[in-house]
Amino acid sequence: MDRRELFAALGALGVSTAAADDHPEKKDAGPASPMAGPHAHFCGIHMAKLDPKLQFVTQHYCTAHTGDHGGDALFQCVLFDGTGKNARLVGVEYLISDAMYKALPETEKKYWHAHTYEVLGGGLIAPGMPPADEAAFMKMILPTWGKAWHTWPDPKNPVPMGEPMLIWSLMGEGQVDPKVLAARDKEFKVDTAKIAAERQKEFGLELPDVALPKGLDTVGRQWTNTGPDVPKKR
């Protein structure tokens, strides 16, 4: 996911990532703001790494950071528990490329989760995007890794309480809470099973099958529990 690929995909979707400083003619348009530019909206299902039974439908509002990240782009996302104007800001997530992830110190990798199953299993959707655009964007997201913390661990509390919660991704069949998935599908009028079947056919890949984390020190994998961590073609 280098800058050229990222910006091309975002541009095709009408999502601009250019900073005001990149356009001298816009410098007099007023003070810049990190929240002023366009963004992409995704909906996924998060789970707590230390308690996989604790799962949340989470709305991601993301933009690309244009700084120097070794040639790759980095996504910054703010996370909400809904899409309405009064939704709670529940956390943050960063997305990086597979190359960036592999260059991380081994002690850091335990904080990052893969997105392979989220994409191929249909758990990650982009409400409002035309199908062709969503497919192109999911292809770019597929190999990325995310580091997410929920700073409002229990949204039922009137204020954020407790320590930030490290989030993990669903990585195999049977791991999602059926009630959480059903509620998400009903809200956005989608069929996750149908989406999964279409994406597996389009990508030509089998679903990942990675076990739930055994603890905080579990390091994520993208495709398999053991052996070479590579995809299997259909």
Angle (CA) 149-150-156 rounded to 5° is 170
Collect all residues with Cβ–Cβ distance below 8 Å to 109 and sequence separation of at least 6. Answer: 101, 219, 220
Tell me, what's the pLDDT at 47?
97
Tell me, what's the pLDDT at 183?
97
pTM confidence score: 0.86
* Number of structural domains in the chain: 1
* CB contact at 8 A, 208 and 117: yes
Tell me, what's the pLDDT at 107?
97
Tell how strand 89-96 and strand 113-114 pair up: unpaired
Is residue 74 situated within a structural domain? yes
Is residue 230 situated within a structural domain? no
Mean of pLDDT over the chain: 87
Residue range of the domain that includes 141 = 3-14+45-51+62-203
Tell me, what's the pLDDT at 204?
97
Collect all residues with Cβ–Cβ distance below 8 Å to 152 and sequence separation of at least 6. Answer: 81, 88, 89, 90, 91, 160
- CA 97, CA 149: separation in Å to the nearest integer? 18
Q: Give per-residue pLDDT as tens, 166-205.
A: 999 999 999 999 999 999 999 999 999 999 999 999 999 9
